[in-house]
């Protein structure tokens, strides 16, 4: 078996983004580490089955998300919602308000977004995946991705509008 993709180079290249995605889902360092390591373990045992080397990143993110869902199902009954409607009128956030937000606060607020929307938002805004790539990773229809991002963004915007800005600590 030839290792064209180099396990160590894959870990070096994707550990950070995978860990960040895992942390955005779990909000716990230990769980994020476990998920990331489990993803690479699965790659080590099954990655050789992937024929198209250009799909490694998507395969890794899909595997991590699947493992997250499996972990959640074991801990709590995890309802799966198919959301097909799109919200029409989202609350507007001015560019000035966006500029005043720091990324740590946005990540903190992202944690408060309801579960079905959180993964799609994290992949779209934190990892710059396209809707199509997110649909592949989460194994859901494209329309569901659009709906989850739309509804999740509406929740995130509402949280941003409702949360008072933290002033600099002095």
SS3 18: helix
- Rounded Cα distance, 73 and 68, in Å: 9
Q: Residue 17 has what pLDDT?
A: 94
- Among residues of the chain, what percentage have pLDDT more than 90? 39
Q: What is the pLDDT of residues 14-27, one digit of tens each?
A: 999 999 999 999 88
CATH of 7-75 among 3.40.50.720, 1.10.1740.10, 1.10.1420.10, 1.10.10.10: 1.10.1740.10
> Domain coordinates of the chain in residue numbers?
7-75, 95-162
Q: What is the pLDDT of residues 84-130, one digit of tens each?
A: 444 444 445 555 555 556 666 777 888 889 988 999 988 988 888 89
State yes or no: pLDDT of 8 exceeds 60.
yes
State yes or no: pLDDT of 56 exceeds 90.
yes
**Residue 86: CA atoms inside 13 Å, Cβ hemisphere, count?**
8
The yes/no answer on whether domain 95-162 falls in CATH 1.25.40.10 is no
Cβ contact 63:126 at 8 Å: no
Whether the pTM exceeds 0.75: the reply is no
> Residue 130 contacts by C-beta under 8 Å, 6 or more apart in sequence?
none
Least confident of 39-53, 86-100, 125-139: 86-100
């Amino acid at each position: 078996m030839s290792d064209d993709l180099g396990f160590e180079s894959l870990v070096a290249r994707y550990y950070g983004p995978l860990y960040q995605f895992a942390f955005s889902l779990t909000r716990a360092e230990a769980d994020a580490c476990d998920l990331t390591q489990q993803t690479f373990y699965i790659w080590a045992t099954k990655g050789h089955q992937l024929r198209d080397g250009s799909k490694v990143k998507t395969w890794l993110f899909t595997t991590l998300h699947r493992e997250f869902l499996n972990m959640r199902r074991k801990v709590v009954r995890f309802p799966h919602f198919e959301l097909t409607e799109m919200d029409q009128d989202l609350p507007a956030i001015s560019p000035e308000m966006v500029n005043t937000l720091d990324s740590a606060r946005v990540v903190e607020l992202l944690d408060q977004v309801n579960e079905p929307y959180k993964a799609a938002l994290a992949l779209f805004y934190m990892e710059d995946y396209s809707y199509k790539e997110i649909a592949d990773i989460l194994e859901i229809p494209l329309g569901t991705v659009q709906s989850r991002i739309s509804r999740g963004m509406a929740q995130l915007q509402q949280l941003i509008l409702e949360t008072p800005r933290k002033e600099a600590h002095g």
